[in-house]
């Protein structure tokens, strides 16, 4: 991801903004899962110094991440995807399946064009960040996700799925999307927020929220990011790149 890609992150959802603490005004509690001790320790030190974040624990692999999340009940887990014993994909899937109020998961990775990232998004992660991003951007992602929003890097998502074999758009009709819902899904894939989609389609914000909810339900998508991945991988939206 280039610097311009990083700045093009789109925060969408129902939260109150990227600079705040949790909706209750308390710091966002964070668990960091990464098998590299130096990386994990560095992230803990840097993120603990960021406003509105309290790092409550660490994990060196996916099994420990699940165990620590059960014990500490953090708001957010910053999850590396490539870890021993149990990778971040399986750990994410287990965390989201076993609790009625699971933590939000943000995948952290070195390379954006990593099949493991796409799989983690499909497992229900709310977004991903690159390890090389400035720590303030990683902290912003943690706070935003804690508020119930998702993180979309449209250009990075396009690159990830462009390298993957596309399925058939015939998979989507099985979801029985209406024409308007398909329009909304296409606009979601470009990174537009709900207010921007409402403006583009000249409909109310509440109408867009209803369509987005229907799209997620019909696709069986964990969240907005997962729906966008499905749109790309089904061939409904074809990755295009400027220049």
Domains in the chain, start-ordered, CATH in brackets? 3-160 (3.40.50.2300), 166-234 (1.10.10.10)
- Please list the residues that pair with 32 across neighbouring strands: 58, 78
- Helix H or strand E segment including 18: none
pLDDT in tens, 175-221: 688 889 989 988 887 777 788 889 999 999 999 999 999 998 888 87
Residue 131 has pLDDT above 80, yes or no: yes
As a whole number of angstroms, the distance between CA 95 and CA 74 comes to 11
- Helix H or strand E segment including 52: none
Count of helices and strands (H, E) across the chain? 11, 7
- Tokens representing 141 are 């992602």
Q: Which residues contact 207 (CB under 8 A, 6 or more apart)?
A: 198
The pLDDT of residue 24 is 52
Torsion over CA: 147, 149, 155, 158 (sign): positive
- Kindly report whether the global pTM for this prediction surpasses the value 0.75: no
CA angle 113, 115, 119 (to 5 degrees): 130
| Average confidence (pLDDT) over 39-50 | 94
Which of 92-96, 129-133, 217-221 has the largest mean confidence?
92-96
């Amino acid at each position: 991801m280039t610097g311009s890609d990083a700045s093009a992150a789109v925060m969408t959802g129902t939260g109150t903004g990227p600079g705040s603490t949790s909706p209750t005004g308390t710091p966002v509690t964070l668990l960091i899962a990464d098998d590299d001790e130096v990386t994990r320790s560095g992230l803990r030190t840097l993120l603990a110094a960021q406003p509105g974040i309290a790092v409550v624990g660490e994990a060196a692999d996916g099994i420990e991440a699940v165990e620590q999340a059960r014990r500490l009940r953090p708001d957010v887990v910053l999850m590396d995807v490539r870890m021993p014993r149990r990778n971040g994909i399986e750990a994410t899937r287990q965390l989201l399946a076993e609790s009625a109020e699971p933590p939000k998961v943000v995948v952290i990775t070195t390379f954006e064009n990593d099949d493991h990232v796409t799989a983690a998004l499909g497992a229900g992660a709310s977004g991903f960040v690159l390890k090389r991003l400035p720590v303030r951007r990683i902290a912003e992602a943690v706070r935003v996700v804690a508020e119930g929003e998702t993180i979309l890097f449209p250009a990075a998502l396009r690159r990830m799925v462009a390298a993957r074999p596309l399925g058939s758009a015939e998979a989507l009709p099985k979801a029985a999307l209406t024409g308007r819902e398909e329009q909304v899904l296409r606009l979601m894939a470009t990174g537009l927020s709900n207010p921007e989609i409402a403006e583009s389609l000249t409909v109310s914000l509440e109408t867009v929220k209803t369509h987005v909810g229907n799209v997620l339900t019909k696709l069986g998508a964990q969240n907005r990011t997962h729906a966008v991945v499905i749109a790309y991988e089904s061939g409904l939206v074809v990755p295009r790149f400027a220049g």
